[in-house]
Structure 1
Amino acid sequence: MASINDPVFPAQCDIRLRQGDLGRNGAVSAIGMARWLEDARIRVKTPQFGRLVGAGEFGRHQIILVSQRVEVLAPVHRSGADAVVHTGIRHIGRSSFTYQQAVFAGGRRVGSGGATVLLLGSAGPLALPDELIADLTDLSVPDSSETTAAKPSAERKQREHYAFFAPLRARIGDVDVNQHVNYLAQATWYDEAVAVFAAAALGAGGLVPDLSPSSYRIDYIGEVTYPGDYEIGVLVHSFDADSVRYELGIFSGSDCLSIADAIGPRDVLSAKSLGPSGPH
């Protein structure tokens, strides 16, 4: 396990725990930790690229999130130490690059994650300029022990793949400066879908147990906009005595706009409710 002073992560960012980062169990949720990872990525310095853009020598562009992942490895409570997020660059492509991140609190590693982003112009992906490549190279992680996740299969983008659907209407508070539903807001939609699935599986009134996933891998495929009515598909991929692996997707009609893999606690969910004859 990496130490808090692990030199392979060139950038470090202190994070102060906020009330909104906590889940129902009083510990930082996967969504809260995803916000920490975002905060750290925003603070990573790319000075050569910044000077290029500031001098007007690089045209209009957007940096678009293609995918993100987050995993809570150990609980972090409000009474615990504030967190430190370590960030490096794992891969540099022609038009995109990938962050690798680790989260530490109280001297122990409590989370991990990363994201792939794309440099996009009005006509499509842009080649990374030499100045940005130089900045990213300075931030490279030389010896990554993490394996690259396989691309999701094509069937994951089909409505027929999913056994259960939770409806959700976009909220104006989900919309960011790019005028679409923010990618972190979409992550909360997946939390919502798992909760709706759990409520249907339990088939009883009262408080639904806290079954929010502790890890997500999300791929963003299309634009989710406001106003709009959407459905989140849920499929139980597998389960054991302690956990449930979900496959999830956001749909507008037959169009798949995002897909996710998630792992959450099983708790009181029965084998019958998680099987093919579970809630529909």
Structure 2
Amino acid sequence: MSRHPPASRDQFRWFHTITTRWMDNDAYGHVNNVVYYSWIDTAVNRFLLDHGLLDLAGSPVVGIVAETGCRYISQVSYPDEVCVGIRVAKLGKSSVRYEVGVFRAAETLASAEGHFVHVYVDRATMRPVAIPDAVRAGLETIHVPA
């Protein structure tokens, strides 16, 4: 089975840098797989916060995670610095699919690739609702249609 080549930095529209921690390494000497999911979650939510698209305490409509996935390509270990790139691959009525690249230091090819789906819900009822217009406009800035 052949694998498609890793994504490159130029395929992503927004980046967040994260420093690995000693505790991120597992017994095999590389960052444990669950840490990648934390990085993906952190980058997506940091984008939303930095662009005023999410008020953690007060937004009446919030995105909840419906799906995640990650493909590991090359090893990352402490004390590497990683740069997490995101783009919006699909923007639906009530959901958004982010695609994510995890890059070690200044490397141009991803060490891991992931995806993250938010479904927007009314905070009080937890029922799906349309993505608010202001949020949609912010997401459009990093939308890269397939």
TM-score computed with the length of structure 1 as normaliser: 0.41
Selected match of 1:264 from 118, 121, 131: 118
Residues 1:214 and 1:229: Cα distance change in structure 2 (over 3 Å): same
Match of 1:169 among 19, 22, 40: 19
Whether the 8 Å contact between 1:195 and 1:211 is mirrored in structure 2 is no
Which 5+ residue runs of structure 2 have no aligned equivalent? 121-130
Offset at residue 206 of structure 1 (A): 6.2
User: Is the CA contact 1:222–1:258 (under 8 Å) kept in the aligned structure 2?
Assistant: yes
Cross-structure match for 2:72: 220
User: What do you get for the CA RMSD once the two structures are aligned?
Assistant: 2.6
Letter in 2 for 1:270: V
- Supply the AA of the counterpart residue of 1:275: E
Alpha-carbon distance, 1:239 to partner: 1.2
Greater RCO between the two (CA within 8 Å, min separation 6)? Answer: 2
CA distance in 2, matches of 1:229, 1:270: 29
Distance 1:208 1:176 in 2: 37
Q: Trace 1:9-24 onto structure 2 (pairs within 5 A).
A: none
In the TM superposition, what whole-angstrom CA distance separates every residue of 1:115-146 from its partner, at most 9, and x where no partner exists?
xxxxxxxxxxxxxxxxxxxxxxxxxxxxxxxx
CA positional deviation for 1:211: 3.3
Q: Name the aligned partner's letter for residue 263 of structure 1.
A: V
List runs of 5+ in structure 1 lacking aligned partners: 1-92, 94-150
Partner of 1:235: 87
- When normalised by structure 2's length, the TM-score is 0.74
Q: 2:127 matched to which residue of 1? A: none
Task: Specify the SS of the correspondent of 1:196.
Answer: helix
Aligned residue pair count: 127
Do the aligned partners of 1:167 and 1:230 also contact (CA within 8 Å) in 2? Answer: yes
**Alpha carbons of 1:193 and 1:200: their partners in 2 closer, same or farther (altered >3 Å)?**
same
For the structure 1 residues 184 and 206, does the alpha-carbon distance in structure 2 shift closer, same or farther, using more than 3 Å as the test?
A: closer
Kindly, what percent of the aligned residue pairs are identical?
22
Q: Contact (CA 8 Å) 1:174, 1:185: kept in 2 or not?
A: yes
Structure 2 counterpart SS, 1:235: strand
Secondary structure of 1:217's partner? strand
The higher radius of gyration belongs to 1
After TM superposition, which residue ranges in structure 1, 4 or more long, deviate above 4 angstroms? 203-210
